Amino acid sequence: MCLGICAIVANSKPVIEFIFDRVVSRIACSKLPSFELNGAEWCAIVARCCASRPNEMMLKVATAMDFRERAAAVEDALRCTLSESGNKRAWAQSLQTRVVTVLCFQTSEPPYQALDAIFGSVVRSDLRKCEDLHSSQHDRPMDIITLATMVESVAHAVLY
């Protein structure tokens, strides 16, 4: 599962090389497209992660400055969506929701389908801000250690 999540992250090769040993990462990077999750698989992972309990890796991610900055940017982009009571509560009280939402903006594909799996739906006025944020995230890649820890924490949350 960890490899499948790595495969859809925009900056996947350095993340794979950080998480896995040299042999596995060389093989995985050469066959990367075959490991990519489809939209339905990614949405299922996202939804399951939100329903899980936070793990130690998520707690470590939450202390990273890069994560906190990006979580604030996501919160700003989803301002109208997060103003709804259920979404506001999920965002404020659920570390796993924040982690997986920030991770959605690090993927190579736009995050709309995954955001719908997390929040039920995204308010239409937030879509343009989400699109802008997603493209800006690719211009400034996330710290590899933080990103790799996020990937592992989401995989761990879903599997355990």
Query: What pLDDT, in 10s, does the model give residues 32-68?
Result: 999 999 999 999 999 999 999 999 999 999 999 999 9
The DSSP element (H or E) to which 83 belongs, if any, is: none
Give the range of the structural domain holding residue 69, as residue numbers without chain letter.
39-159
Whether 147 is covered by a domain: the verdict is yes
Whether 1 is covered by a domain: the verdict is no
Whether 18 is covered by a domain: the verdict is no
> What is the domain count for the chain?
1
Whether 79 is covered by a domain: the verdict is yes
pLDDT surpasses 90 at 138? no
Q: What percent of the chain has pLDDT over 90?
A: 97
Distance between CA atoms of residues 14 and 1, nearest Å: 17
Whether 68 is covered by a domain: the verdict is yes
| Verdict on whether the full-model pTM lies above 0.75 | yes
Whether 28 is covered by a domain: the verdict is no
Whether 142 is covered by a domain: the verdict is yes
Distance between CA atoms of residues 34 and 146, nearest Å: 25
What is the model's pLDDT at position 69? 97
Each residue's pLDDT tens digit, 72-118 = 999 999 999 999 999 999 999 999 999 999 999 999 999 999 999 99
What one-character-per-residue DSSP string does 40-77 give?
HHHHHHHHHHHHS---HHHHHHHT-HHHHHHHHHHHHH
Whether 106 is covered by a domain: the verdict is yes
